[in-house]
Each structure stands twice: as C-alpha cells, then as structure tokens.
Structure 1
Amino acid sequence: MNDVTLGADVSAERLASLKQLTMVTYILYALSAFVGLTAIVAIIINYVKREETAGTIYESHFTWQIRTFWFSLLWAVVGFVTLVVGVGFVVLAADSIWVIYRIVKGFLNWNDGKPMPVKA
C-alpha cells in the first residue's frame, strides 16, 4: 500500500496514526447500522481530528465520511417524514444502500492507500 501525503512535514508515524484513526471511523460508521450512537462518535472524531488530516490522503476520507453522515441524516429525516404517504420506506431503503456503498467504497480506498474523490 502506498500512502501518499500532500504535505512533506507529516511524519510516517503521524500518517500511520491517521490511517488507523480513519479505519476506526469507518468501523464506527459501519457499526451504526446496529448501534446508531457509533455514528455520532464517528462524526465527532471527524470534526475534532479533521484539521490534523490536512494535507494527507486521510483528509479526503474524513470529508467523505462527514458528507456521508450529513446526507444520510437528511435522507433519513425525509424518509421518516414521508412514511405517512408510503414513500418513506423506499427513501429509507435507498438511503441505507447508499450509506453501505459509501462505507464500502471508502474502506476499500483506505485499504488501497487511495484518497477519496473530491467532488463525491
């Protein structure tokens, strides 16, 4: 695996720590399907440690995770609100599939030492 940094001042030890932290947040997001509170822990970690990831490939992973959280929450709210008219189940199912996709894609890129797409 080739972990590329954008900033030359990031030590190998610091990069390894950020890599591990990124894996932990992906696991927390994945576990949120069973224990919803783990996503709250993960988003807090994302925001608290986001500045430390600047200039590394893990910055893109943190941005990916943060966007996944907020868009998923938005669609979950829309899904619950529209349960009354019967469309909510479809919205919630689509949201769940999308979150699984985002977690799997992020984890695979993390495992390969690749950054996440900027515009995704």
Structure 2
Amino acid sequence: MNQGAPIMDDEKARSLKTITTVVYALQAASFLLGITFIVAVIINYVKKSDVQGTWLESHFLWQIRTFWFGFLWSVFGLLTVFMIVGYYVLIANAIWIIYRIVKGWLRLADSREMYVTAQGNYLKG
C-alpha cells in the first residue's frame, strides 16, 4: 500500500472499496449491456475526490484509463470494420479490457494498489 496515503477509518475504507468493486463489476457487465461502461466511468469521476491520496486512487485511474483507451480503440475498430482490420482491433480491444478488469479486480481483492499512481506516472488521470 501507499505509505504516504492518509489513514481512512474502516467504514469509509470499506465503502470506497465497495464502490471500486462495483465499478469493476459494471465494466465487466458492459460486455452484455454497453451502457454500464459509461455508468462506471461516471461513478469514477463523481467519487474520484473521495479516493484522492489513498491506495484506491490508483484503481480509479486504472479504471478511467481502461474506459478511455477502450472507448477510443472501439471507435477506431468500428470505423475500420469495413476493412477486415477493424474486427481484429475490436477483438484485441475486448481482450485488453477483460485483462484490465480481471487484473484490477484481483489486486483490489488483495487490497493492493495498481501500478499506476497519481505521482509521476504517464497520463495523470
């Protein structure tokens, strides 16, 4: 965990971890109902200030980046679907999104930060 992170009371920490879990679940559900991907990122942005400076911030950044990069690659894939390459882009994007959801959810279950943090890494969320 982040050694410089502020200490949260147990109830608040549990609540924020639950919200983070819900966002991963919504992202996973987006393969069945696409709108949940948008709902998930809205929750990320609404609750982002609550997790700022905690180990959960890295999960929020991970989830937000998953949304935006996944969205952009989906748009590119859809625009190029008339060429065969678009199908490959969409398949690769789906695999990448699944990887990010699983990786993040597993690290969250172990109460571990993601690799990305607000300090010093690319694409600050």
TM-score tier, shorter chain, comes to over 0.9
For 1:77 and 1:117, the matched residues in 2 are separated by 26
- What value does the CA root-mean-square deviation take over the aligned residues? 1.7
Deviations 1:75-109 (A, max 9, x none): 00110111122100000000000000000000000
**Taking every aligned residue pair, what percent have the same amino acid on both sides?**
49
**Structure 1 or 2: more helix by fraction:** 1
Counterparts in 2 of 1:92 and 1:52: CA distance versus 1, 3 Å: same
Q: CA deviation at 1:3?
A: 9.5
Relative to structure 1, is the Cα distance of residues 33 and 96 closer, same or farther in structure 2, using a 3 angstrom cutoff?
same
Work out whether residues 72 and 95 of structure 1, in 8 Å CA contact, stay in contact via their aligned partners in 2: yes
Separation (CA, whole Å) in 1 of partners of 2:23 and 2:110: 17
- Within the candidate set 97, 112, 124, 1:114 is matched to 112
Distance in 2 (alpha carbons) for counterparts of 1:104 and 1:4: 25
1:54 aligns with 2:52: yes
What runs of 5+ residues in structure 1 fail to find an aligned partner? none
Higher mean C-alpha displacement, 52-61 vs 67-76: 52-61
User: Counterpart in 2 of 1:99?
Assistant: 97
Aligned pair count reads: 118
After superposing on structure 2, the runs of 4+ consecutive aligned residues of structure 1 that deviate more than 3 Å are 2-5
